[in-house]
Amino acid sequence: MKKTIQICLTFLSTLLFVSCNQYHPSAAKEDYFKLSTDSVQTGGIKIIPITTPKGTFNVWTKSIGNNPKIKVLLLNGGPGATHEYFECFENFLPAEGIEFIYYDQLGCGNSDNPNDVAQWDLARYVEEVEQVRIALGLDETNFYLLGHSWGGILAMEYSLKYQKHMKGMIVSNMMSSCPEYGKYAEEVLAKQMDPKVLAEIEKIEAAKDFSNPRYMELLLPNFYEKHILRFPVKNWPDPVNRSFAKINQSLYVTMQGPSEFGISGKLEKWDRKADLKNITIPTLVIGAQYDTMDPKHMEAMAKLTPKGTYLYCDKGSHMAMYDDQKTYFKGLIDFLKK
């Protein structure tokens, strides 16, 4: 009799377990794709007014999915590129029920462009991100900030002021020191280039002839295809091409400078390496073997951050979300879901 009861209980437990497993994923899927409470559905797009010292401007955001516990706000690189090169995230994050939010910073893509170099300022962009966070209802229970390249600088700077509102941060393909990045570009990346090619590039840069078609003609096969995105340029994905074609050159040159070897703009002396110890939220640092950024520096960043972890993309470059997708997205998803 006892054995019969045990068998029945085991069967009922198994049935309940299977039933729960069958129910919850579909329920989660329903929640992920549920409509907003807005009277008119706009595909998750929300235009957010941003207050700046020069007036109010609108920035563009678009949410993909719904997840009350994981909301990832994406900060594009450049500076001055657009959200579009993040479109590959759509092939990976929705399947895991992870909500993410596209966002064109002021002067980028679908957002307003005030055409005012005074607005291209790191501290102002930090306050812009904070206004976006508030407008989207993100907080310490769900808010992850993913910054790629220049977006990584912005994410680090934002976290040092506002981490109390964050659940975690991802710094993708960005070092914590622009002077060290410049040194790496000069002492490592430049020396990997054919000396004749490098000499011609340096001659063009010395003459400040950056609009010379020969400059990009040299950089594309000798630098971009080796360190930015490791496919032949003719095979670069459409989201990358669209995003790069729309780069705000005023914003890019003001912040980064015109050269691809190091930084000479407003960010030239930016260095937060010594302050990483003050970032106490869980932080994932993503580096790549062939990146324009030193992967060893980025590994050290993860160790300097109290709750830091490091993801190394051994096949990737600066756009590792494309040329080492398997490693990049597995590591990112594991971090967000643990």
Q: Is 297 a catalytic residue?
A: no
Annotated catalytic residue within 104, 291, 323, 324: 291
Contact of 78 with 251, CB cutoff 8 Å: yes
Q: Is 294 a catalytic residue?
A: no
Q: Which residues pair with 309 in a beta bridge?
A: 284
Q: Is 291 a catalytic residue?
A: yes
**In sequence order, what are the residues at sequence separation of 6 or more whose Cβ sits closer than 8 angstroms to the Cβ of residue 156?**
147, 169, 171, 174, 176, 272, 276, 279
Q: Which amino acid is at 203?
A: K
- Here the tokens at position 208 are 């400040």
Annotated catalytic residue within 63, 111, 149, 159: 149
Residues with catalytic roles: 149, 291, 318
